[in-house]
């Protein structure tokens, strides 16, 4: 489909669409362009980050133990702990599935499945192919543009949340350092945690710096690992949707007047071969994400309710800082699940349209072999592709609405417990 020069330009253009995600993945220990390059160093950095974050669990546990009767405080402490534990799980999954994720991303960046499509080689002499190619390129460009928009929105949302947590704690500590006597104030860390042995050390070296390092590592992977991992999902999911739409555009022209009757069977066979490639790619994407996303969905059920509860506490105490922080947190955490469910719905909808595309061609006036191929494809496409969350649910808009209702019930439960 593409000449070597066009293929190289395509890879550069697609790289520019996701360059922020690829660069950010280096900071959490992954090279999405070439796993063999600096692989050992990056793996060591991944292990250092994850172990440092795990060490901060001690501080979260001490905070829970001390303030066990303070529902708002233990809610935020438990929520942030679960958030970075989920990010650690993603990092380790990334570590062991790095090659598989790299291969899927490489296929998407280079449009490998479209380049292998026999339609553009065997039928290149037909005038209809030029129009199909233009349609396919326009469709893929549209979905890559959508990919970039989603990644940037997600990135900026996570940057706002993590920056708020870090700068708020840093500024408050400096203010207390310059305005209060030494030993008369408590330090504030980026995430709610407590280290009793160093509680009265203030900003002394190295006690304060060790605490800040551990909590900053946890805070950083909460945001940036999420962008890296979920960004890959956005790329692969929308690329799959683009491939399905492109396949539909190919199938729609199977009985066009621009395709000679004696070559329509061969044309349809090329579409069927392409369908099999798209089906395999869709299955690989689903297998890659179906189990690791289960923890994320469970966490979001709790954290949405927690975020709403913290906002209600901020309203009750007139705390603008809490209100702003929880608003940004809900935007980032909500967008994370919206990305999965909304794109999962687009994935399933595009899959369902493939069967309709085969049925809509004017097969009733074609040869017996052509009609037989259509019947076969109607049977094969009867069961579409979808993105699953483990074995329990599907990434779809109904799932999103069910999660919103359930998190609302958690919010009411936390409110009732707090009032009692």
pLDDT tens per residue, range 168-190: 999 999 998 888 887 778 889 99
Mean pLDDT of the 9-37 span: 89
Instruction: Using the predicted structure, report yes or no on whether residue 396 has a pLDDT greater than 70.
Output: yes
Euclidean distance between CA atoms 197 and 16, whole angstroms? 48
The mean predicted confidence, pLDDT, of the chain is 89
Q: Give the DSSP H/E element, type plus range, for residue 394.
A: strand 393-394
- Residue 231 is predicted with a pLDDT of 94
pTM for the complete prediction? 0.93
b vs e for 45-80, b when ≥16 Cβ sit within 10 Å of the residue's Cβ?
A: bbeebbebbeebbebbebbbeeeeeebbbbbbbbbb
Among 110, 90, 93, 86, CA closest to 33: 110
- Residue 318 is predicted with a pLDDT of 61
Segments in 184-319 forming alpha helices (H): 207-252, 264-289, 292-317
| In contact, 237 and 343? CB cutoff 8 Å | yes
- Residue 221 is predicted with a pLDDT of 92
Residue 270 exposure: Cα atoms within 13 Å on the Cβ side: 23
pLDDT band, very low/low/confident/very high, at 325 (cuts 50, 70, 90): confident
Read off the DSSP letter of residue 244.
Answer: H
Helix (H, G, I), strand (E, B) or coil at 294: helix
Write down the domain spans for the chain.
4-419
- The secondary structure of 298-310 as a DSSP string is HHHHHHHHHHHHH
Answer with the residue of higher pLDDT: 411 or 274. 274
pLDDT tens per residue across span 242-271: 999 999 999 999 989 888 999 999 999 999
């Amino acid at each position: 489909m593409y000449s070597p020069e066009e293929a190289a330009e395509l890879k550069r253009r697609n790289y520019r669409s996701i360059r922020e995600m690829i660069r950010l993945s280096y900071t959490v220990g992954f090279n999405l362009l070439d796993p063999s390059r600096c692989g050992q160093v990056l793996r060591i950095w991944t292990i250092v980050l994850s172990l440092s974050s795990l060490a901060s669990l001690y501080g979260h546990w001490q905070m829970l133990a001390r303030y066990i009767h303070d529902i708002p405080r233990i809610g935020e402490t438990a929520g942030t702990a679960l958030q970075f534990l989920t990010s650690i799980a993603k990092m380790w999954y990334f570590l062991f599935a790095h090659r598989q994720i790299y291969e899927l991303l490489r296929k998407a960046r280079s449009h490998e499945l479209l380049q292998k499509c026999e339609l553009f080689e065997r039928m290149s002499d037909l005038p209809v192919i030029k129009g199909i190619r233009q349609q396919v390129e326009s469709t893929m460009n549209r979905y890559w543009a959508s990919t970039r928009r989603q990644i940037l929105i997600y990135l900026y949302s996570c940057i706002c949340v993590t920056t708020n947590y870090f700068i708020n704690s840093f500024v408050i500590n400096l203010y207390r350092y310059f305005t209060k006597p030494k030993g008369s104030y408590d330090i504030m860390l980026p995430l709610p945690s407590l280290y009793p042995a160093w509680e009265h050390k203030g900003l002394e070296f190295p006690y304060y710096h060790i605490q800040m390092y551990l909590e900053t590592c946890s805070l950083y992977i909460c945001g940036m690992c999420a962008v890296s991992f979920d960004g890959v999902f956005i790329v692969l999911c929308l690329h799959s949707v683009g491939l399905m739409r492109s396949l539909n555009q190919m199938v729609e022209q199977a009985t066009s007047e621009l395709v000679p009757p004696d070559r329509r069977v061969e044309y349809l066979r090329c579409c069927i071969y392409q369908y099999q490639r798209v089906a395999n790619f869709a299955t690989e994407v689903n297998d890659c994400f179906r189990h690791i996303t289960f923890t994320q969905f469970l966490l979001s059920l709790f954290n949405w309710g927690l975020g709403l509860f913290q906002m209600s506490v901020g309203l009750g105490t007139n705390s603008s800082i809490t209100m702003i922080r929880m608003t940004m947190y809900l935007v980032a955490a909500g967008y994370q699940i919206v990305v999965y469910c909304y794109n999962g719905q687009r994935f399933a909808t595009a899959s369902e349209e493939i069967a309709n595309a085969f049925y809509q061609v004017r097969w009733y006036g074609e040869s017996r072999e052509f009609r037989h191929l259509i019947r076969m494809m109607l049977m094969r496409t009867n069961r579409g592709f979808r993105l699953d969350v483990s074995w329990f649910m599907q990434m779809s808009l109904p799932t999103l609405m069910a999660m919103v209702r359930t998190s609302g019930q958690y919010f009411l439960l936390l409110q009732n417990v707090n009032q009692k």
